[in-house]
Amino acid sequence: MKFLLLFILFISYNLFAGQLLKKEGLQKMIEPKVSFQTAYLSDASLSGYEGGVEVMKNRLSINNKLAGFSYTNWAFKWNKLAGLPFGDGVHSPIEQMHSFKANANIPYFISEKWFLLTSVSVKSTFEKETDNSYSAGLFSFASYKIDDNHAIQFGAFANYHPISTLALPVISYSYRARQSDGFKFILGFPRTYVGYHTNEETLIRFGIIFSQSVISLSQTSAIEKSGFIEAQDYMSNLGISYELNSKLSIESDILYSVKRDFTIYSKDGDELNAYSINPSLGIDFKITFLF
């Protein structure tokens, strides 16, 4: 599967590079930006159990319009350990998770009406050891411009991992998505987004997004030795972004975890148990610098 994705990436670049240069310009495409994001989700118990968890997430990324790389760290603080359905009731079942991700994007303008975007990625998400932690992703959709304000998008995305592979459709309707004044929105799956520009520099926005990943557990995991966790969640945000100047921008959001589910697998890929984490509130802050 990974070789197939790499092959798609290679062919796409060779087919689309010339057209991309015409539309965007080399300088704009390769202009890099660096961002740092930190987020916190308050304590939430597992559904049906007394034990709960708080989550702190930090992410550092560098990317441009063609490619990107990021590192993400999650730190967990478990509460009422004896009330958890896993672990020994004394020690934290898992303290940290890590993820490294590399991705490439291939935008292609077919005509004034039609636009294609394909993104491929390779990711490693793990507790301690990177063994069996690698996965690959493919996200591709076509956008049809109805007029200067309205467009529709459709396609699919897939996350491949030997333990669990997810493939779902992409469908959305967008209104003034690239404008920097007044209202704009994208309604669909896996992302819904509504924004309002009070001025060119300031954007108030609300959104909800679905995400999924498979995490490789450590050889000494209190949850399942050398096992895996598949996590799926819907996260909503309400916040503001502000461009201080042409190079620097900041964002801040109130978060609400609408739904968080996770499934535990053995090292052989057998499904063992599934749990849900009750909704909780949080906060997010991000700073981005464009070179």
Q: What is the pLDDT of residues 120-138, one digit of tens each?
A: 999 999 999 998 999 999 9
Contact 44, 281 (CB under 8 A): no
Q: How confident is the model at residue 109 (pLDDT cuts 50, 70, 90)?
A: confident
pLDDT of residue 4: 43
pLDDT of residue 166: 93
Q: How confident is the model at residue 25 (pLDDT cuts 50, 70, 90)?
A: low
Contact 168, 182 (CB under 8 A): no
Check pLDDT > 70 for residue 12. Answer: no
When pLDDT is averaged across residues 27-42 and rounded to a whole number, the result is 90
- ∠ at Cα 84 (255, 262), nearest 5°? 50
Residue with tokens 């109805």: 146
- ∠ at Cα 202 (200, 205), nearest 5°? 120
Q: Which domains does the chain have, with CATH numbers?
A: 2-290 (2.40.160.40)
Cα separation, 47 vs 34, whole angstroms: 38
Check pLDDT > 50 for residue 6. Answer: no
When pLDDT is averaged across residues 218-229 and rounded to a whole number, the result is 94
Q: Please give the backbone phi and psi of residue 12, each rounded to the nearest 5 degrees, phi first.
A: -60, -45
When pLDDT is averaged across residues 20-41 and rounded to a whole number, the result is 78
DSSP track, the chain? -HHHHHHHHHHHHHHHHHHHHHHH-HHHHH--EEEEEEEEEEEEEBTTSS-EEEEEEEEEEEE-SSEEEEEEEEEEEEE-GGGSSSS-SSS-S--EEEEEEEEEEEEEE-SSSEEEEEEEEEEEEESS--TT-EEEEEEEEEEEE-SSSEEEEEEEEEEE-SS--EEEEEEEEEESTT-SSEEEEEEEESEEEEEEESSSSEEEEEEEEEEEEEEEPPTT-SSSTT-EEEEEEEEEEEEEEEESSSSEEEEEEEEEEEEEEEEEE-TT--EEEEEEE---EEEEEEEEEE-
Report CA-CA distances (Å) from 132 to 99, 219, 220, 267: 13, 11, 15, 9
| Structure token digits, residue 14 | 């060779």
pLDDT of residue 19: 52
Nearest alpha-carbon partner for 153 in 120, 106, 186:
186
Check pLDDT > 50 for residue 14. Answer: no
Q: Note the residue count of the chain.
A: 291
Name residues whose C-beta falls within 8 Å of residue 121's C-beta, 6 or more positions apart in sequence: 101, 102, 103, 104, 136, 137, 138, 139
Percentage of the chain beyond pLDDT 90 is: 81
Report CA-CA distances (Å) from 267 to 49, 128, 191, 219, 226: 25, 15, 32, 10, 5
Check pLDDT > 50 for residue 7. Answer: no
Q: Which residue has the higher pLDDT, 246 or 231?
A: 231
Percentage of the chain beyond pLDDT 70 is: 91
Q: Which residue has the higher pLDDT, 6 or 97?
A: 97
Whole-structure pTM value: 0.88
Q: What is the pLDDT of residues 235-286, one digit of tens each?
A: 999 999 999 998 999 999 999 999 999 999 999 999 999 999 999 999 999 9
* Average of per-residue pLDDT values in the chain: 90
When pLDDT is averaged across residues 98-105 and rounded to a whole number, the result is 96
Q: What is the pLDDT of residues 202-215, one digit of tens each?
A: 999 999 999 999 99
When pLDDT is averaged across residues 176-191 and rounded to a whole number, the result is 93
pLDDT of residue 275: 96
Check pLDDT > 80 for residue 27. Answer: no
Q: How confident is the model at residue 291 (pLDDT cuts 50, 70, 90)?
A: confident
Q: What is the pLDDT of residues 65-80, one digit of tens each?
A: 889 999 999 999 999 9
